[in-house]
Amino acid sequence: MTTTSEPRGLDHLVIGVADLDAAGAFYADLGFRVGARNRHPWGTENRIVQFPGAFLELITVGDPTLIPPHAPRQFSFGAFVRDALARGEGMSMLVLESRDSTDDAEGFRSAGIGDFEPFFFERQARRPDGSEVRVAFSLAFAENRTAPECGFFVCQQHEPQNFWNPAFQQHENGASGLSTVFLVAQEPAAQTAFLSAFSGAESFATPEGGLRLPLPRGRLEVLTPGAAETVLDGESRRQQAHFAGFAVTVPDFEPLRQRLLERGIAHRQEGARFVVPGSAAFGCAIIFERG
């Protein structure tokens, strides 16, 4: 299996939550600016935390009757989110950037990591001044048979000037970027072929028995369960490969430390990192790194 393109950077993370408003309030307590609720025509609803070039998508099922089933060559985003939430809250999908979703879908097909038609959708978005603008996206999905509970796709922005907004990227905790995504697997090496083909990036073995894939924006870390318990401050009994958390960069730890203490948010400091465990953060560990 070979890579399908030039390396792709992080675009966004899909994080399933049962209560979207409660999750939004928690992320706001952490010091993130959380966007308003958006509704998809296929039954899911989201709120977004934006950084330069990447974002977090907090998502829930609003109307399950609108969710279409999976079909031949048709990936149902809503069905995947619903089924992932049925297993538990937390990050379920990794999304990388795309310049041409049609080419990427064909590349995935040729590499043997997915045979799905690209999916286009659009919606209205609200600017900070209250005005509405069009945003539109095309998605190309891949399939990782060694991690069936994890979703993977790339996202092409058709109206990037309407989506990315510096005002939405100013966070009280000082977070300046999405730096790392953590995938946990019993055998990290078994993820090498798919992840390299999907991301277009070269993978490197780590001394802890994991993998690291540097991307044009951020990086992907594949951890053993033992390493994840240490790095992410949480034990997982899940046998299947799964996403366990992410890291963002902040310039100064002291305001963050005070914020976490004042709001009673569970955390620990380990060297140049603050870790909020998944058990305290809707199933998705959050790491703050100095940077």
Q: Convert the pLDDT of each residue in 62-87 to its tens digit.
A: 999 999 999 999 999 999 999 999 99
Q: Print burial letters for 25-50: b (CB count within 10 Å at least 16), e (below 16).
A: ebbebbbbbbbeebebebbbebbbbb
Flag whether pLDDT at 126 surpasses 90: no
**pLDDT bracket for residue 4 (50, 70, 90):** low
pLDDT band at 111 (very low <50, low <70, confident <90, very high): very high
Kindly report, residue by residue over 188-199, the tens digit of the pLDDT: 999 999 999 999
Statement: residue 172 has pLDDT above 80: yes
For the segment 44-64, the average pLDDT, to the nearest whole number, is: 97
For residues 49 and 30, give the distance between their C-alpha atoms in angstroms, rounded to a whole number: 12
pLDDT > 70? residue 162: yes
108-120 mean pLDDT: 96
Six token digits for residue 201: 């990036």
Note the Cα 155 to chain centre separation in Å: 12
146, amino acid identity: T
pLDDT at 51 over 70: yes
The domain spans of the chain are: 10-169, 177-290
The tokens describing 181, both together, are 């995504």
Query: Stretch 100-111: mean pLDDT, rounded?
Result: 97
The fraction of the chain above a pLDDT of 90, given in percent, is 87
Alpha-carbon gap, residue 285 to 201, rounded angstroms: 24
Mean pLDDT along residues 276-282: 97
| Mean pLDDT across the chain | 94
- pLDDT for the residue numbered 49: 99
The pLDDT score that the predictor gives to residue 235 is 64
Q: Is 10 left (phi over 0), alpha (psi -120 to 50) or beta?
A: beta
User: 0.85 exceeded by the pTM?
Assistant: yes
Cβ 272 vs Cβ 290: under 8 Å: yes
Same fold, 10-169 and 177-290: yes
Distance CA 38, CA 35 (A): 9
What pLDDT is recorded for position 271?
84
Structure confidence at residue 270 (pLDDT):
85
Strands of 42-100, DSSP E: 44-51, 54-61, 90-97
| Closest to 288 in 3D by CA, of 235, 233, 236 | 233
Going by pLDDT thresholds of 50, 70 and 90, the confidence category of residue 1 is very low
Q: Would you give the distance in Å from CA 84 to the centre of its chain?
A: 14
Average pLDDT over residues 94-101: 98
When pLDDT is cut at 50, 70 and 90, the band that residue 132 belongs to is confident
Task: Give the CATH architecture of domain 177-290.
Answer: Roll (3.10)
pLDDT at residue number 128? 72
pLDDT of residue 179 exceeding 60, the answer is yes
Is the C-alpha dihedral spanning 52, 289, 219, 31 positive or negative? negative
Residue 206's CB is within 10 A of a number of other CB atoms, namely 15
Q: How far apart are the first and last CA of the chain?
A: 35
What dotted CATH number matches 10-169?
3.10.180.10
